Structure 1
Amino acid sequence: MLVEVIHPRINHAALHWTLSRLRVEPVSQALAQTAATLLRDAGLHGREYAIDAMLCATALAHPGRVTILTSDVEDIRLLTAGHPRVAAEKV
């Protein structure tokens, strides 16, 4: 989440360079419903998993293979079980 990386010691030039290469996707009702389904299917619930579920729903909305870079590989894999075109890699 962007708000988590902005702090006084951040290299602002590097941050702006990185952000210029990203595409920001809006949160929609359809994505939220997909995220809720992913949570239900994984047997998870609550705010602890909500952002991960939205990330996975967004990944699933894109065509082709998608790799999610995350420090929480286990939760991402739980949420995307049964969706082989989405992979999670630890960073």
Structure 2
Amino acid sequence: MARRKLSHEGTLVLDCEGLSKLLDDHEPTVAQVAEARHRGMEVVINALTIVEATHRRTDQARLAWLLSGFRISPISDKEARAASALLLGTGLHGHKYAIDAAVAEMAIRQQRPVVMLTSDVDDMKKLCGDRVHLVGI
């Protein structure tokens, strides 16, 4: 399916819960993504989000279809170091918050305004500060 190229009017970032809810056809999340696209926002996920959201029961065909409509942001050593710096700055530990930090670091770099659909509003607020508008799902 060809997708229309829209001028960027900001970025919508999905964390693991956002992707999981889309995979489950959660109506409010589907509507939020549709509204963001209607407004010309680019939908972006961190490559690690795919790993975090995938499990034995994941519908691989649906996952592939959803991912085809997103920009998937890779994580290199540069991004990993920046995510580590976020952790250090907040006092959070990488063992528990590594993927959250990578997602937050990626969100901060996106074209503004940036909106993130997340189930971890408190943790993401610590990591993103006021640079990303957080919407709890």
The residue number in structure 2 matching 1:59 is 107
1:68 aligns with one of 116, 130, 135: 116
1:26 aligns to 2:74 (yes or no): yes
Deviation by residue 1:16-37 (Cα, 9 ceiling, x = unmatched):
3321111111111221121111
In the alignment, which of 46, 50, 55 is matched to residue 94 of structure 2?
Answer: 46
Q: State the Cα distance separating 1:6 from its structure 2 match.
A: 4.7
Contact 2:84–2:94 at 8 Å: present in 1 too? no
Task: Tell me the residue number matched to 1:85.
Answer: 131
Q: Classify the secondary structure of the residue corresponding to 1:39.
A: helix
TM-score (normalised: structure 2): 0.56
Q: Distance in 2 between matches of 1:46 and 1:53?
A: 8
From 70, 74, 83, the counterpart of 1:35: 83
Q: Which has the higher contact order (CA 8 A, sep 6+)?
A: 2
Please state which structure has a larger fraction of its residues in strand: 2
Tell me the distance in 1 between the aligned counterparts of 2:55 and 2:126. 29
Which letter does structure 2 place at the counterpart of 1:64?
R
Any gaps of 5 or more consecutive residues in structure 1?
A: none
CA RMSD of aligned residues (A): 1.8
Query: What percentage of residue pairs aligned between the two structures are identical?
Result: 38
Q: CA deviation at 1:53?
A: 0.3
Residue 12 of structure 1 and its aligned partner are, at CA, apart by: 4.8
